[in-house]
Amino acid sequence: MELVKIVCAIIFPPVAAFLQVGFGKHFWINILLTILGIVPGMVHAVWIIVKNKS
């Protein structure tokens, strides 16, 4: 399942952030980073997934 989330983080980072943390602060931070640039959003989404392994 982690691999699916990482692939999702590369394609559309906010979805991966939502799947990992829900509508928490990291989701909204990821939305902002994705708006500012896709690469920061990707990096943040992958970081969330790796940091918060369920």
pTM: 0.89
Range 6-12 average pLDDT: 94
pLDDT at 17 over 80: yes
Q: Is the pLDDT reported for residue 9 higher than 80?
A: yes
Domain span at residue 25? 2-51
What is the number of structural domains in the chain? 1
Average confidence (pLDDT) over 27-48: 96
Residue 53: what pLDDT?
Answer: 76
Q: Number of helices (H) and strands (E), helices first, in the chain?
A: 4, 0
Exposed/middle/buried for residue 3 (C-beta within 10 Å: 0-12, 13-18, 19+): exposed
Residue 2: band (very low, low, confident or very high) from pLDDT cuts 50, 70, 90: confident
pLDDT value at residue 52: 84
